[in-house]
Structure 1
Amino acid sequence: MGNVDKRNRLSEEVFTYKKTKDNKVFIYWMGKQVTILAGKASDKFLKSIEGKDHLETQLIMAKLTGNFKRGNEKDGK
């Protein structure tokens, strides 16, 4: 995963997810909801992260959320 995460952001747990009772998956970036998976998409996601370590799970969520970040946003520090 060396070339994928050059700035080492995925080790900071920027993505989180929450599964609901009706099997929907809400994916969050820095505490803000960015996507909702339902039906087959949520099943596929949950199976894909099963048994994965932290960095692999972060990468899967980053790929699922798509191109909503372009790299030129400010951190707000």
Structure 2
Amino acid sequence: MGAPSGFAYEMHGEDVVISHHGRRATVLRGERAAEFLAEVDRGDPQLLMARVTGNYRRGNERMARQHPRNQ
């Protein structure tokens, strides 16, 4: 699985708008927006934005289906 890419974020007032390849993926408001801004400088911003938008589960679904816990 490759590293996530193509994410960007913009501030609109107190809201954070996250887009993926130019298309709006999600909007964070209030406390969640403040947490996101604090976390974005600490780690990989692309991975963080992928997690926030839910666009990070790519490639491992088939393997998870075969796990004994999921049988």
TM-score by length of 1: 0.65
Q: Following TM superposition, by how much is the alpha carbon of 1:19 offset from its aligned partner in structure 2, in angstroms?
A: 0.7
Q: Which runs of 4+ in 1 moved over 6 A?
A: none
User: Structure 2 stretches of 5 or more lacking a match?
Assistant: 60-71
Q: Following TM superposition, by how much is the alpha carbon of 1:33 offset from its aligned partner in structure 2, in angstroms?
A: 0.1
Q: Please tell me the residue identity of whatever aligns with 2:28.
A: L
Aligned pair count? 59
Deviations 1:21-62 (A, max 9, x none): x2100000110001000000100000001244xxx1000000
* Inter-partner Cα distance in structure 2 for 1:39 and 1:17: 15
2:3–2:47: 8 Å Cα contact kept in structure 1? no
Structure exhibiting the larger radius of gyration computed from Cα positions: 2
Q: Following TM superposition, by how much is the alpha carbon of 1:69 offset from its aligned partner in structure 2, in angstroms?
A: 7.5
Q: Please tell me the residue identity of whatever aligns with 1:14.
A: G
2:50 corresponds to 1:62: yes
Identity level (%): 32
Among candidates 22, 33, 43, match of residue 31 of structure 1: 22
User: Structure 1 stretches of 5 or more lacking a match?
Assistant: 1-5, 72-77
CA RMSD of aligned residues (A): 2.2
* Inter-partner Cα distance in structure 1 for 2:53 and 2:32: 12
* Inter-partner Cα distance in structure 1 for 2:48 and 2:8: 11
TM-score by length of 2: 0.70
